[in-house]
């Protein structure tokens, strides 16, 4: 295992004074993790250095062909002041799944986690103390060789940056409005939809841009072939409560295998609820709405946590869900999940990892 070098900043920044106003992804801590890769040499020179701009050749391959992947996880402060991570091993495992799809060399998951833990130990004072706020962790890898031909890179950088953050949506736990996208598609089977790579998010921007014009926060994507079956929101996976069934689209290659999605399924099943991972058409949702059996809609994601959906717009139809109020299951999931994440409830599933 290469030795992790540490260079501490001589100019630490002041910490945010009002943690209720952090927003998401605006503020960055004092240090970041960096490691390089070169074909024939492997991953080398892991280091923690002051957070700041990096030098990149304008021909760096990532800037032209988008060969990059990323992850998102959080560190939480518990009532006793300790810091814990939520299922971090799952993020590094998924990182390698994304790496494989993007032909990026795999990382040593255990070593990456050790480096993250060290980084958080150094930045421990940046982990917010306020309910609902946490330290968002963004690991990412990109091809950096200067070359304009299309091929996988020979040089990569793996970095981790940290951002003390509050709720992803400015509405917090209040229900969001979502517009079903009927024109554009995000991903298709055989494409990169299951990988956490910037290209999926780039392809979703136009839908989001158009949804914003109509005052909807996000886009619900339909399948790329028939534009009929529900996929995901892009920043989160999606769940429906129809009658007494909790339903979410099955993982079939074009949607993200969300870690919060997995946790929500496990929690619901542990409460004896019927959870189905299956194909759901938008017509089924519209029918359930019309006959009164659509009780709740919510999204799940690391950044979004559990995010209730209050309005779902599909072409000319606007469905108001649960009177635009958070539903019983969404609220229970939010309370239980954040209870475990913030160390306020027992972690019966072994999901948390303490950082000193």
Residues in touch with ligand COI (CB under 6 A): 72, 235, 301-304
Q: Of 303, 299, 286, whose CA–CA distance to 178 is shortest?
A: 299
- The residue sitting closest to ligand COI, measured at its beta carbon, is 72
Query: What's the closest the beta carbon of residue 263 comes to ligand COI, in angstroms?
Result: 13
Query: What's the closest the beta carbon of residue 248 comes to ligand COI, in angstroms?
Result: 16
| Angle (CA) 198 173 255, round 5° | 30
Query: What's the closest the beta carbon of residue 151 comes to ligand COI, in angstroms?
Result: 27
Contact between 140 and 159 under an 8 Å Cβ cutoff? The reply is yes
In the bound state with ligand COI, the residue whose beta carbon lies nearer, of 62 and 137, is 137
Radius of gyration of the chain (CA): 21
In the bound state with ligand COI, the residue whose beta carbon lies nearer, of 301 and 308, is 301
In sequence order, the β-bridge partners of residue 218 are 178
Maximum alpha-carbon separation in the chain: 63
In the bound state with ligand COI, the residue whose beta carbon lies nearer, of 248 and 302, is 302
Q: How far apart are CA 325 and CA 308, in angstroms?
A: 8
| Locus of tokens 């040593």 | 108
In the bound state with ligand COI, the residue whose beta carbon lies nearer, of 208 and 322, is 208
Structure tokens given for 185: 């598609």
Q: How many beta carbons lie within 10 A of that of residue 206, not counting itself?
A: 13
In the bound state with ligand COI, the residue whose beta carbon lies nearer, of 218 and 352, is 218
């Amino acid at each position: 295992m290469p030795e992790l070098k540490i260079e501490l900043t001589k100019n630490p920044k002041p910490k945010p004074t009002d943690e209720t106003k952090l927003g998401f992804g605006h503020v960055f801590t004092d240090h970041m993790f960096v490691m390089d890769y070169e074909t024939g040499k492997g991953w080398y020179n892991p280091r923690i250095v002051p957070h700041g701009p990096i030098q990149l050749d304008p021909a760096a391959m990532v800037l032209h062909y988008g060969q990059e992947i990323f992850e998102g996880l959080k560190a939480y402060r518990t009532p006793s002041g300790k810091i814990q991570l939520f299922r971090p091993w799952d993020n590094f495992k998924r990182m390698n799944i994304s790496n494989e799809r993007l032909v990026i060399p795999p990382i040593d998951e255990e070593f990456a986690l050790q480096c993250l833990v060290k980084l958080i130990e150094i930045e421990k004072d940046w982990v917010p103390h306020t309910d609902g706020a946490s330290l968002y962790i963004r690991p990412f890898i990109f091809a950096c060789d200067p070359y304009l031909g299309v091929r996988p890179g020979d040089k990569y950088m793996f970095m981790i940056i940290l951002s003390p953050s509050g709720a992803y949506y400015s509405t917090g736990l209040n229900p969001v409005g979502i517009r079903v996208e009927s024109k554009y598609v995000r991903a298709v089977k055989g494409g990169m939809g299951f990988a956490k790579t910037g290209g999926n998010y780039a392809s979703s921007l136009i839908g989001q841009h158009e949804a914003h014009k109509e005052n909807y926060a996000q886009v619900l994507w339909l399948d790329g072939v028939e534009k009929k079956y529900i996929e995901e929101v892009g920043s989160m996976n999606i769940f429906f409560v129809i009658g007494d069934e909790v339903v979410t689209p099955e993982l079939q290659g074009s949607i993200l295998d969300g870690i919060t999605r997995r946790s929500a399924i496990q929690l619901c099943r542990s409460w004896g609820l019927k959870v189905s991972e299956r194909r759901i058409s938008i017509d089924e949702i519209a029918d359930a709405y019309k006959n009164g059996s659509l009780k709740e809609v919510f999204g799940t994601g690391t950044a979004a946590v559990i995010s209730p959906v209050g309005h779902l717009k599909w072409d000319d139809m606007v469905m108001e869900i649960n009177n635009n109020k958070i539903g019983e299951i969404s609220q229970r999931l939010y309370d239980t999940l954040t209870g475990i994440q913030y160390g306020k409830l027992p972690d019966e599933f072994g999901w948390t990892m303490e950082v000193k």
